[in-house]
A and B are shown apart, each in its own frame.
Chain A
Amino acid sequence: TVGAVALDQDGNLAVATSTGGIEGQRKGRVGDSPVIGGGSYAANEACAVSCTGDGEVLLRGALAHEVYALVKYKGLSVQEACKEAVQLRAEDLKGDKGFIAIDTDGNIAIESNTNVMRCAYRIEDEEPFVAVWREE
Chain B
Amino acid sequence: MPKYALVLHGGAVTMDPSSISPEKEAALREGLQAALKAGWKILHRGGSALDAVEATVNSLENNENFNSGRGSSLNLQGEVQMDASIMDGRTLQAGAVNSVRYVKNPVTLARTVMEKCEHVYLSGDGAIEFALEHGLTMEAVHYFETEKTRQEWLEIVMDEAKVPQKD
Contact = CB atoms under 8 A, between A and B. Distances in A.
Grouping DSSP codes into helix (H, G, I), strand (E, B) and loop, the A interface class, with mixed when no group exceeds half, is strand
B80 A112 contact: no
A116 B83 contact: no
Contacts of A43: 89, 92
Nearest to B106: A18
A105 B72 CA distance: 34
B3 A24 contact: no
A118 B32 contact: yes
Grouping DSSP codes into helix (H, G, I), strand (E, B) and loop, the B interface class, with mixed when no group exceeds half, is mixed
Contact of A6 (B52, B106, B124, B144): B52
Interface string A105-132: 1101110111111111111110010111
Of residues A34, A112, A122, which shows the largest number of chain B Cβ atoms within 10 Å of its Cβ? A34
A112 B72 CA distance: 22
Contacts of B144: 20
Nearest to B111: A16
B48 A21 contact: no
B2 A9 contact: yes
Contacts, number: 304
A2 interface: yes
A41 B60 contact: no
Chain B interface extent, by class: 35 or more
B5 A122 contact: yes
Interface in B63-78: 66-69, 71-77
B8 A2 contact: yes
B83 A34 contact: yes
Contact of A9 (B1, B29, B77, B92): B1
B36 A23 contact: no
A18 B68 contact: yes
B5 A52 contact: no
Contacts of A36: 85, 87, 94, 96, 120-121
21 contacts: A4-B35, A7-B6, A8-B52, A12-B48, A13-B89, A15-B53, A16-B111, A18-B110, A19-B68, A20-B68, A27-B77, A30-B83, A52-B9, A52-B11, A98-B12, A100-B9, A106-B5, A109-B7, A113-B14, A119-B9, A128-B37
Interface of B: 1-15, 17, 20, 25, 28-29, 32-33, 35-37, 39-40, 43-44, 46-50, 52-54, 56-57, 60-61, 66-69, 71-77, 79-90, 92, 94, 96-99, 106-107, 110-111, 120-121, 123-124, 144, 149, 152-153, 156
Interface of A: 1-31, 33-36, 39-44, 48, 50, 52-53, 96-98, 100-102, 105-106, 108-110, 112-125, 128, 130-134
